[in-house]
Structure formats: C-alpha cells, structure tokens
Amino acid sequence: MEVAWLEDFLAVVAHGGFSRAAENRNITQPALSRRIRALEDWVGTPLFHRTTHTVELTAAGESFQVTAEETLRRLASGRDEAREVAQGHTELLRFAATNALSLTFFPAWLRRVEATLPFNINVQMVANHMEICERMMIQGQSQFLLCHHYPAASTLLASAQFRSVHIGDDVLVPVSAPNAEGRPLHSLPGDADAPVSYVAYRPESGMGRIVAAALETALPATHLKPTFTSHLAKLLVTMALDGRGLGWSPLSLVAEHLERGELVRAGDAGWDIPMEIHLYRSRARQSAVAEKFWAHVAGGTAA
C-alpha cells in the first residue's frame, strides 16, 4: 500500500468524482482509477459505488475514510517529530487560515500571543478558502487552522478528530454602494418580482457556508439574484463598491468604507450574522512545540 493511494482516495471523496480528483492530483483519470482499484484490492473490498453519473462511498469506504485521514495526519506528525529529534528541536508551526482572517485578524492576534509566549516560534502560514484549508488539516499538512465558526454551518473537521478554541469574534454585515442620496443601491430583502442584486460567496468558502446557513435558519426571507460569485471576501467588497450588488462582508474588511460613506448598510442590524473565530487542531499528538503553543493559547478552554 502506498501513501499516494490514500491521498488519491481522499481526493475522490473531496471532489465527488474521478475526473476532478485526477485534475487536482495532476494525473490522468485512468491512472487515478488504477490506483484506487489497487487500494481497494489491498483493503479487500470496494470503497466506492460507481454509476454513470455519481461516485459515492460504500459503507466500507465511509469507515476507511476515517482511517485514511488519521493515517495521513499521523504520518505528517511523525515526520515533524523525527525532524525535531534530528535537529535537536524545531520552532516551526504550520498554520492554515482562511483568506479574510489572514489579512484582518491573524497578524495582530499572532503578535499578541507571541508577546506572552515563554519560547520563540517560527510560523509558516498558508491562506486559502475554507475547503482547501480543511483538506490541509485532514491530511496533516497544517497543524492549526484559523477560521470563522457558525454553529449551523457545515464543516469537514469532525469533532471526534479535531478540537477547537474560541479566540475571537466577528460579524458579517450586509453592505451596498450608496446612491446619490446616500441610501443603498441594493437593499434587503428584495421581492419575488424584483430580486435584489447580490455578490455571493462560492460554496467552498467558509463564509459562503455561513451565509447560506444563516439565510436558511436565522435570517428573514430574501429574494436575491446573484450577479457575481467568488470565494474571496475582499474581491466581493470590491464588487459591492462597484455597485454590482449587496453582499455580506466581515465588518473588519468594510469598517473604513462604511466610515467614509463608500459603502452603506444594505439592511439594519437584524440582518447581521454574528460569527466566532476558532483555532482548530487535530486531536492526535502534535510536535512538542505545537503542543506547548496549543496549551498556551487554549488555556484550558478548548472545545
């Protein structure tokens, strides 16, 4: 059994099929299919139901997914520990962060934490949308993930395998470019005959999941017409400034635009979506410096 087979298997799970998974893994689809067949031969049972249009995990595949994820995380952790032993010690901490938080929250938060740490650290950080960050955590490529948390929004980081600590708060506010009178060009809630133009997050975005969950479970009924879609919150702010529609944005990204009148609220505070900022880690043992860092940050409050 090869480690690459596990990565191939999880890629098919993540992308919902062989074609996109092969593209993600930079191999041909026939080559990926052969490797998945080899893995299934090694396991001794089919891991996927294959039909003309869909690929779904079998019951055995669902069980094996947990094993594959945990194996890759443990291998990554073991590699880090071996390097730590070989080098005497290492201070490197590997973070993933969603794009918006990497710009607005992470630098100041890290500065505050470092000011109270009794040891030095070397930080490596990768910023991307939520789905890629989750995959990095699942495969052990990052030790920590900084992201927004909203109870009703889905996550790939199951509580049995990951834990988190609440380290901050944020809020999504609906904003729009103003008209000549200073009122929003696009305002909530819209109506069925004239849905309001809307700049939307892509579904792989963490904030896209949060907005979708809030619209379904917490906010009043809306009539929205998407005019632009991206996983980048900052790009959606730019599109809102350009008048393409209203959008929900972290207040930290738009506070100055609101103060200057370049953007205005597209709805009152009843349309706000409160969020928490969480730091995630695997429940598996991390490197010594990662464990010390977690203990310092969590302070006994990790969920």
Integer-rounded Cα radius of gyration of the chain: 22
| 3-69: CATH, from 3.90.870.10, 1.10.10.10, 3.30.1600.10, 3.30.930.10 | 1.10.10.10
Is the model's pLDDT at 270 over the cut of 60? yes
Is the model's pLDDT at 172 over the cut of 90? yes
Rounded Cα–Cα distance for residues 160 and 142 (Å): 18
- Where is average pLDDT lowest: 32-46, 66-80, 210-224, 261-275? 66-80
Q: What is the pLDDT of residue 89?
A: 52
**76-93 confidence digits (pLDDT tens):** 777 766 766 665 555 789
Upper half-sphere CA count for residue 273 (Cβ side, 13 Å): 29
pLDDT above 90: percentage of residues in the chain: 68
Is the model's pLDDT at 301 over the cut of 80? no
Rounded Cα–Cα distance for residues 161 and 278 (Å): 16
Is domain 91-303 annotated with CATH 3.40.190.290?
yes
**Burial (CB count within 10 angstroms: exposed 0-12, middle 13-18, buried 19+), residue 28:** exposed
Q: How confident is the model at residue 246 (pLDDT cuts 50, 70, 90)?
A: very high
| Average pLDDT of the residues in 40-59 | 88
Locate the domains of the chain by residue range: 3-69, 91-303
Mean predicted lDDT score pLDDT of the chain = 91
pTM of the full predicted structure?
Answer: 0.74
